[in-house]
């Protein structure tokens, strides 16, 4: 916009295909003639008369203080400076600029792989074609915004933007939408999305159906069930005994394992394996068969999915063995201390027998002992 002495106008921004309105206003009217010219300086309107044959220009308002004109179905070719002129002495002129915005023609997401495998890194590209100005592209996975890398290409007066996103997928991404969203002044809420399809190996779990609670006792039955979920759904599921052969009396029916009459030889780790096109996983169950008279609370049979080794379970018999060792050690310590004190017991002598050890015979010893007593008494008498 340019300022004239007595003319006022504003710049116009319009989306392609919409209507632009140009207003030429006189601050202090003196009945001078107002006219509007296009970027080629051709007269569009002289007062309320339209010399230009372009019927897209229509008079909205005409008075001594304003000439207002609308332009319908605006295109990029209409962009530029339009001039308001006031025939005074000297003549006055200002210009207004029409800016045309063009929203993206198309928004497309291309994905490197229609189906990805857990742990893979895939590439997605979102392209916004033929916009003006250049588009800003934003990425989202679900509600979380991600960072992509954009490149801008210019074709004549138009811009094509392509944004690349590298994404490492996991099983939790299966079925999650990846959204490409456009930030552009000519359009709101323009977005497109693709749903991720991620394949992953099975998740395996072993559950104990019977007994529901309590000890797995000798002579009683045991029933286990194996469940597995994956994509694609596991097609191969089998039971095995880790580091040993499966007992002959064990019955395996599909995902279930049944031992109708438990005995001590059944102790061990039982594994359920499941596989699909992606890979193989397993879960372990550690069995300890108790005596029929056992009343101790059982160790928890922990069953978890895994790929390396078996899950270990703590046996209460081990705790009992540790306690027995501690008690035995304490008893041994008491016996050693008793013998030590017995060997170091002192020998005590009385004053009555003092001097008897040096006597030649028994009679002399008695006399020496009695003499000792008399001497003592004499000393006592002397001090009194």
Span 242-294, pLDDT tens digits: 989 999 999 999 999 999 999 999 999 999 999 999 999 999 999 999 998 87
Q: Are residues 207 and 192 in the same domain?
A: no
Is 226 part of any domain? yes
Other residues' Cβ atoms within 10 Å of the Cβ of residue 110: 12
Domain count, the chain: 3
The size of the chain, in residues, is: 384
Q: Are residues 93 and 118 in the same domain?
A: no
Is 309 part of any domain? no
Ranges of beta strands (E only) in 38-148 are: 43-46, 57-62, 66-71, 80-86, 92-101, 106-111, 116-117, 121-131, 136-141, 144-146
Q: Are residues 124 and 186 in the same domain?
A: yes
Q: Tell me what the mean pLDDT of segment 22-47 comes to.
A: 94
Span 79-138, pLDDT tens digits: 999 999 998 888 899 999 999 999 998 999 999 999 999 999 999 999 999 999 999 999
Contact assessment for residue 191 and residue 182, using Cβ atoms and an 8 Å cutoff? yes
Domain end point (choices 172, 196, 220): 196
Q: Are residues 164 and 184 in the same domain?
A: yes
Give the Cα separation of 356 and 374 in Å (integer).
14
Q: Are residues 150 and 191 in the same domain?
A: yes
Domain range for residue 54? 7-101
Domain end point (choices 196, 211, 231): 196
Contact assessment for residue 80 and residue 71, using Cβ atoms and an 8 Å cutoff? no
Is 89 part of any domain? yes
Residue 252's Cβ-side half-sphere holds a number of Cα atoms within 13 Å equal to: 14
Is 255 part of any domain? yes
Given a cut of 80, whether residue 353 has pLDDT beyond it is: no
Given a cut of 60, whether residue 351 has pLDDT beyond it is: no
Q: Tell me what the mean pLDDT of segment 218-241 comes to.
A: 96
Q: Are residues 97 and 110 in the same domain?
A: no
In our burial notation (b when 16+ CB lie closer than 10 A, e otherwise), range 18-41 reads: eebebbbbbeeeeeeebbbbbeee
Torsion over CA: 24, 25, 28, 32 (sign): positive
- Mean of all residue pLDDT scores within the chain: 84
| pLDDT number for residue 124 | 98
Domain end point (choices 101, 117, 134): 101
192 compared with 344, residue with greater pLDDT: 192
Q: Are residues 27 and 96 in the same domain?
A: yes
Q: Are residues 188 and 233 in the same domain?
A: no
Q: Are strands 158-168 and 149-155 parallel, antiparallel or unpaired?
A: antiparallel
Q: Are residues 75 and 147 in the same domain?
A: no
Q: Are residues 92 and 172 in the same domain?
A: no
Query: CATH number for the domain including 265?
Result: 2.60.40.10
- Least confident window among 28-37, 62-71, 263-272, 333-342: 333-342
Share of the chain above pLDDT 70, in %: 79
SS3 for 201-238 is: EEEEEEEEEECCCCCCECCCCEEEEEEEEEECCCCEEE
Q: Are residues 61 and 117 in the same domain?
A: no
């Amino acid at each position: 916009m340019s300022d004239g002495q007595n003319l006022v106008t504003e710049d116009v921004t319009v989306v392609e295909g919409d209507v632009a309105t140009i207003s030429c206003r006189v601050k202090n009217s003196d009945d001078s003639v107002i006219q509007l010219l296009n970027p080629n300086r051709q007269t569009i309107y002289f007062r309320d008369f339209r010399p230009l044959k372009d019927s897209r220009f229509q008079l909205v308002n005409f008075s001594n203080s304003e000439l207002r004109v609308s332009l319908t179905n605006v295109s990029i070719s209409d962009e530029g400076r339009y001039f308001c002129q006031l025939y005074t002495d000297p003549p006055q002129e200002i210009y207004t600029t029409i800016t045309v915005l063009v929203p993206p023609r198309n928004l497309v997401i291309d994905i490197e792989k229609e189906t990805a495998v857990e742990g893979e890194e895939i590439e997605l590209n979102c392209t916004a074609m033929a916009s003006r100005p250049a588009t800003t592209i934003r990425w989202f996975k679900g509600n979380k915004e991600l960072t992509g890398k954009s490149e801008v290409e210019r074709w004549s007066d138009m811009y094509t933007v392509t944004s690349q996103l590298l994404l490492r997928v996991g099983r939790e991404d299966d079925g999650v939408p990846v959204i490409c969203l456009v930030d552009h002044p000519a359009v709101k809420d323009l977005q497109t999305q693709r749903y991720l399809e991620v394949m992953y190996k099975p998740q395996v779990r072993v559950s104990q159906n019977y007994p529901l609670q309590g000890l797995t006792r000798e002579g009683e039955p045991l029933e286990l069930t194996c469940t597995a979920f994956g994509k694609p759904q596991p097609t191969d599921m089998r039971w095995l005994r880790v580091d040993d052969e499966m007992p002959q009396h064990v019955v395996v029916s599909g995902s279930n394992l049944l031992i109708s009459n438990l005995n001590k030889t059944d102790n061990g780790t039982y594994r359920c394996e499941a596989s699909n096109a992606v890979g193989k996983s397993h879960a372990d169950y550690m069995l300890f068969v108790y005596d029929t008279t056992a009343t101790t609370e059982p160790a928890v049979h922990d069953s978890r999915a895994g790929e390396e080794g078996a899950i270990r379970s703590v046996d209460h018999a081990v705790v009992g063995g540790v306690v027995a060792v501690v008690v035995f050690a304490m008893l041994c310590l008491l016996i050693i201390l008793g013998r030590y004190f017995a060997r170091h017991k002192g020998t005590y002598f009385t004053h009555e027998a003092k001097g008897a050890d040096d006597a030649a015979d028994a009679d002399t010893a008695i006399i020496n002992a009695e003499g000792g007593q008399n001497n003592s008494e004499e000393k006592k008498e002397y001090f009194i």
